[in-house]
Chain A
Amino acid sequence: MAKKRKKSSRKKSPIAVTIIAVAIVVLFLIRLYQVFEPLIRSNVFQSGLAGPFFTGWKLTAMGKILLSSITYLVLSLAGIVVLIGFLRLHRWSWVLLMAWTGISLVISLVDYFYTRANYAVMASNVIIAFALNMTDVQQIFGIRRRDEPTL
C-alpha cells in the first residue's frame, strides 16, 4: 500500500518574496559598502581612529565620517533582522520593511534634489515597494485578507 504523503504545512512564498529578499541583500551590500568606503578613504584601518570628533557642538570631518558609518551599519543590521523576519513570513517584517523602504525613499529623494542621488538604492527600494504592494504578497503576510476582493 502506497504511503500517504504528508502535506507540507509551510506556506508557499510567491516569487515576489524572493525578489524582495534579493533586493534586501543588495541593499545590505550597498549599505556595507557605505559603512566601510569612507573609513577606507580616511585610512582608518591603517592609522586607527584619531579624534577629535567634536569641535564644540559641531562634528569634525572625522566625526561626520564615523557618524555616517555607524548609521549605515545600524541600517544594514536592521536590514538583516527584517530579512530574517521576512523569509519567515512574519507580518511585522512586512510593516517594518514597508516603513523602512518609505524612509529610505524619502532620503533618496531628498538626496536627489539636494546632493547626489544613489540610484542603485533608489531602484532597489522601488522594486521592494512595488513587490510588497502585490496582492499575493500582502495576503501571505496577513496584510490583506484572502476573501478581500482584488481590485
Chain B
Amino acid sequence: MNPPSDRPTAPAGTPDLELLRKFEPVVYYTKGEQFFPTEVEGYVRESSLWEHHPDGRDELLVKQGELTLEKLIETRPAEFGSIRYLRFVENLNLAEAAQVLADQTLLRIRLGNYFHAGIGRLARGGFLPRLVDGLFSLSFLLRGKVSAADAAAAEIDYNEIFELNPKYTYYGRVTRQNGWVMLQYWFFFCFNSWRSGFHGVNDHESDWEMVTVYLYEDNGQLIPEWAAYASHDFHGDDLRRRWDDRSQLDLEDGHPVVYAGAGSHASYFRRGEYQAAVNLPLPGWFSGLVRSWNKLWTDMLGQPPVNTLRIPFVDFARGDGLRLGPGGPQAWSPVMIDESTPWASQYRGLWGYFAKDPISGENAPAGPMYNRDGTPRSSWYDLLGFAGLDKVPTPPHAMDMLRENCSKVSHRQEELGKLIPQKAGELQALGIKSKGMEGNPHLAKQYAALEKEIASLSTEVRGLRREQSENAALLQGLTQRLERMQAGLQDDPHAHIRNLAVPDSTAQALRFDRAAETWAAVSLSLLLFAVAALILFVPKYIWAGLLVIFILFVVTESVLRGAFVQTVGRITLLLAMAATIILFLHFWKWIIVVALVAMGISLMYQRLRELTG
C-alpha cells in the first residue's frame, strides 16, 4: 500500500522531540482571550499549596512564593477524603477585589484586547431555557464558585508571569501502541475564564487541554492518519478527524489547525461559535417524569422533541485572535513529558483552587495524568480508546487483517459446505428410522430417545445453515471492502462520526436580531417585575395572571424568533391537555360510558358486516 502523497512524513527513527515539532498544531484563539499556554513552573511559583480536610478545614501546606515543583511533589501523608490543591489567587478583601477589577480594565485597555459577544447566548435559546438559565445562575448562591475578582487577579498575574518569561509552551509526549505512534500535545493555562470573560458555564483556576496526532508506519515512514482534539460534550470517535478530511480538518503547511474556545480553551476543528448545552443536575425521578412527558409529546402528539432543561452556552472559537504555532511570529516552546516527569506523575492534587462546587464545574482540574479524584485519566493511559481508535488498525495492518478475515470466513464456508450435507444425511437417516418405529408400541422408549436426537440434530443443521447464509453475506461485504482498499478507495472520512460539532447558525435564524437580543437580555427580569406587580395589585388573580403573562412572554419571544405559528400551536396544545384533564376529572364516568358504547357500536357494526358478507 502506498502512503498518500499529499501527507507530510517523517522517517521512522526520528527522535521524539523532532517528531512532535514536525506535526505540532497551529492554534487560533478568539480576540479577547486572556490566557495562553504557559509553563507550569511560573504558575507553581506564584501559587500556594493547600489541603482540604474531610471535616471542612483548609490547611495551608506551602506558602505562596515558597512553592517549587520539587516541593509540590514532596511526600505528605494525607487522610482519606482529603483534597490537595494549589491556589493561584489568594483570598481578596473588598478593597483588593475592587483594585484588581480596576487593574484588569486598565490592562485590557493597554493590550487592546476586547471581546464582543455579538448575538448573545441568551438570544440563541428560547424563553424556557432562559428561565432555567436564571435558576442556574441563582444556583451559584448555593454552590461554590470562583469570583470575578479572582479571574481578574489571575489575568493580571498571568500577564506578569508572561512578561518575565514570554513563551508559549506545550508539553509533548510520544507513545506507541498497536502499531500507532501517538503525539500528544498538552496545553496548560493559568485560568479558565469562560464564565467571567465570555458568558460561559464555568470559571476555574488552571486548565489543561490536549490535542493528539496519530501516525502509522509504512515503508519506514511515519504518516499522519488522524488528529483528535479534546472538546466539550464529545467522546470517542467523535473527537477525531482523518488527516485528508479537508472539510473538517484545516492544515497549515502540514500542521493541524485548532480553533480554541474563548476562555474554555476547548479545541474545535472548524472556526465558529458553538452552542454547548449544560443539563441541569436533576433527581432521577424528575428526569423519569421529563422522559415520559417527552415521549407523550413526541410520540402521541407528533411534536418535535424539546429539552427545556438544557441551558445554552456559547463557546466562541472564532479564531480571530492570537495565532500560535509554526509559520507565524509566535512559535511554540515544547517541553517533553512522560510518566517519569515528577510533577506530572507524582502530584495527584488539583492544579488550582478547590471551590467546593459539588458538580465540580468551578473546581480546578488535576494534572494531565489524573482526574480530579486522583484516578488515572483515560486521555493519558488509553490514548487509542480516548479517540475510539482502539478498534481501528493502522492502514497497512487493516489490509492484512481484512485478508486474514476473508480467508478465515472462506475456510469456514468450505467446512460448512461439507458438514451440512453430512449432517443433513444423518438427519434423514434418523427420520427414516423413526418412521420405521411408528405403530410399534413396544419401541416407545427408543422412539422417544430418537425423537430427542432428531430434534437436537435438526437444531444443529438449522444453525449451520444460518451460519452459512450469514457468512456468505459477511464474505461478500469483506470482499467488497478488500477490493475497494486494493483499488486505493478511501472510506467516507465522516463515517465514524456520530455527533458532529457544527458552528451555530442562530444568527441567521433570528428575525429581528437586535430586538431579539434586547428581549433576551431583559425578558426574565420583566417577567419577575410582572409577577411582583401581580402580587401587589391583583393578588386574587395571581395564578390566572401568571398563566396569561407567561403565555404573552412566550408568544412575544416566538414573534421575535420567527416561530409564531409553531409556538401558538404548542401553547394551545398544552392548554388543551390541561382542559382534557379537567374534563376527565369531572366527567370520567360519562367519558367511560361513551367510550364503551362507541366501542360496542363499532364492534357490532364490524361483526354484522362479517355476518352479512
Please list the residues of chain A having a beta carbon within 8 angstroms of any beta carbon in chain B.
Answer: 95, 98-99, 101-102, 105-106, 108-110, 112-114, 117, 119, 122-123, 125-126, 129-130, 132-135, 143, 150-151
Contacts and interface: CB of A to CB of B under 8 A. Distances in A.
Contacts of A112: 582
7 contacts: A102-B572, A105-B575, A114-B541, A122-B579, A129-B575, A151-B302, A151-B304
A102 B579 contact: no
Nearest to A122: B579
Interface in B545-599: 547-548, 551, 564-565, 568-569, 571-573, 575-576, 578-580, 582-583, 586-587
Contact of A130 (B541, B576, B583): B576
Contact of A102 (B302, B568, B582): B568
Contacts of B548: 106, 110
B346 interface: no
A122 B304 contact: no
Contacts of B248: none
Nearest to B299: A151
A95 B565 contact: yes
B565 A109 contact: no
A122 B579 CA distance: 7
Given A99-B568, A129-B572, A150 B579 contact: no
A122 B582 contact: yes
B298 A151 contact: yes
Interface in B363-412: none
Nearest to A123: B583
Contacts, number: 77
Contacts of B301: 133
B50 to A, nearest CB: 53
Given A95-B565, A119-B587, A133-B302, A102 B575 contact: yes
B569 A151 contact: no
B529 interface: no
A122 B583 contact: yes
B406 to A, nearest CB: 38
A110 B544 contact: yes
B471 interface: no
Contacts of A109: 547, 575, 578-579, 582
Contacts of A101: 572, 576
B115 interface: no
B303 interface: yes
Determine chain B's interface SS by DSSP, over half rule. helix
Interface of B: 298-299, 301-305, 541, 543-544, 547-548, 551, 564-565, 568-569, 571-573, 575-576, 578-580, 582-583, 586-587
Secondary structure dominating the interface of A:
helix
A95 B303 CA distance: 16
B117 to A, nearest CB: 33
A142 to B, nearest CB: 10
A112 B547 CA distance: 14
Contact of B579 (A126, A135, A143): A126
Contacts of B303: 151
A7 B402 CA distance: 58
B417 to A, nearest CB: 45
Contacts of B573: 129-130, 133
A105 to B, nearest CB: 4
A110 B578 CA distance: 12
Contacts of A105: 572, 575-576, 578-579
Nearest to B566: A143
A108 B579 contact: yes
A98 B573 CA distance: 9
Task: In the A-B complex, list the 6 residue pairs whose CB atoms are closest, starting with the nearest.
Answer: A129-B576, A102-B572, A105-B575, A110-B544, A126-B576, A129-B572
B568 A98 contact: yes
A29 to B, nearest CB: 19
A94 to B, nearest CB: 8
B571 A102 contact: yes
Nearest to A144: B302
A106 B547 contact: yes
Nearest to B298: A151
Contacts of A129: 572-573, 575-576
Q: Which of A102, A112, A114 has the most CB of B within 10 A?
A: A102
Nearest to A91: B565
Nearest to B300: A151
A95 B302 CA distance: 18
Nearest to B569: A98
A151 B295 CA distance: 10
Contact of A114 (B298, B544, B564): B544
A24 to B, nearest CB: 15
Contacts of A102: 551, 568, 571-572, 575
A131 B569 CA distance: 11
A52 B569 CA distance: 42
A143 B569 contact: yes
A122 B583 CA distance: 8
Contacts of B565: 95, 98, 143
A110 B544 CA distance: 6
Contacts of A143: 565, 569
A12 to B, nearest CB: 20
Contacts of B579: 105, 108-109, 122-123, 125-126
B561 to A, nearest CB: 16
A123 B576 CA distance: 9
Nearest to A112: B582
A132 B572 CA distance: 10
B578 to A, nearest CB: 6
